[in-house]
A and B are shown apart, each in its own frame.
Chain A
Amino acid sequence: MMDMIITPFTKYGLVMAFLIVGVVMYISGLVSKLTNKRIAGSAIAIIIGLILAYIGGVVSGTGKGGIANIPLFSGISVMGGSMLRDYCIISTAFGARMSEIKKAGAAGIISLFVGVISAYIVGVIIAIMFGYSDAASAATIGAGAVTFIVGPVTGAAVGASSEVVALSIAAGVVKSILVMILTPFVAKPVGLNNPKSAMVYGGLMGTTSGTAAGLAATDARLVPYGAMTATFYTGLGCLLCPSVLFLITKAILG
Chain B
Amino acid sequence: MVIYGLLLLSGCMYVGVLIGDILGKLTGVNSNVGGVGIAMLILILLSDYLLERDMLSGKAQAGIQFWSMMYIPVVVAMTASQNVVSALSGGPMAILAGVIAVAVAFAFIPMISKIGEPGEPLPELEKKEA
Chain A residues proximal to chain B, CB less than 8 Å: 17-18, 21-22, 24-25, 37, 40, 42, 45-46, 48-50, 52-54, 56-58, 62-68, 73, 76-77, 79-81, 84-98, 100-101, 103-107, 110-111, 114-115, 118-119, 122-123, 126-127, 130, 141, 144-146, 149, 153, 166-167, 169-180, 182, 186, 190-197, 200-201, 203-205, 208-209, 212-213, 216, 219-224, 227-232, 234-236, 238-239
Contacts and interface: CB of A to CB of B under 8 A. Distances in A.
A173 B79 CA distance: 11
B71 A89 contact: yes
Contact of B98 (A56, A100, A174): A174
A119 to B, nearest CB: 4
Interface in B11-37: 12-13, 16-17, 20, 23-24, 27, 29-37
A123 B105 CA distance: 13
24 contacts: A37-B127, A42-B75, A45-B72, A45-B76, A46-B79, A50-B80, A80-B74, A88-B75, A90-B39, A103-B119, A104-B116, A110-B112, A118-B108, A126-B96, A126-B100, A170-B94, A171-B97, A173-B87, A174-B97, A174-B99, A194-B122, A197-B109, A213-B79, A222-B122
A52 B80 contact: yes
Contacts of A222: 122
B75 A213 contact: yes
B64 A235 contact: no
Contact of B40 (A96, A103, A177, A179): A96
Contacts of A196: 113, 116-119
Interface bin, chain B: 35 or more
Nearest to A201: B109
Interface string B105-128: 111111011011111111000011
Nearest to A86: B36
Contacts of B13: 86-87, 90
Overall SS of chain A's interface: helix
Interface of B: 9-10, 12-13, 16-17, 20, 23-24, 27, 29-37, 39-41, 43-45, 47-48, 61, 64-65, 67-68, 70-102, 104-110, 112-113, 115-122, 127-128, 130
Given A126-B100, A200-B112, A228 B40 contact: yes
Given A50-B82, A91-B71, A178-B99, A80 B76 contact: yes
Contacts of B118: 196
